[in-house]
Amino acid sequence: MSVGGIIEDAVNERISLCENIKSKENRVLYVNIETDFI
């Protein structure tokens, strides 16, 4: 598998996670995870 594919899968998983989380606190956590990921 290419690195690009791995990154795309990881981003898609995080997007799905964000869509499933409704609380404001967890949305802030999601943003922090994205920052660390980059």
In this prediction, residue 23 carries a pLDDT of 57
In this prediction, residue 1 carries a pLDDT of 59
27: nearest Cα among 36, 18, 35: 18
In this prediction, residue 37 carries a pLDDT of 59
Could you tell me how many residues make up the chain? 38
27: nearest Cα among 36, 38, 37, 15: 15
In this prediction, residue 14 carries a pLDDT of 81
Which letter, b or e, does each residue of 13-26 get, where b requires 16 or more Cβ atoms within 10 Å of its Cβ?
eeeeeeeeeeeeee
Model pTM score: 0.37
Q: What digits encode the pLDDT tens for the residues 1-38?
A: 588 888 898 888 887 776 766 555 555 666 666 666 55
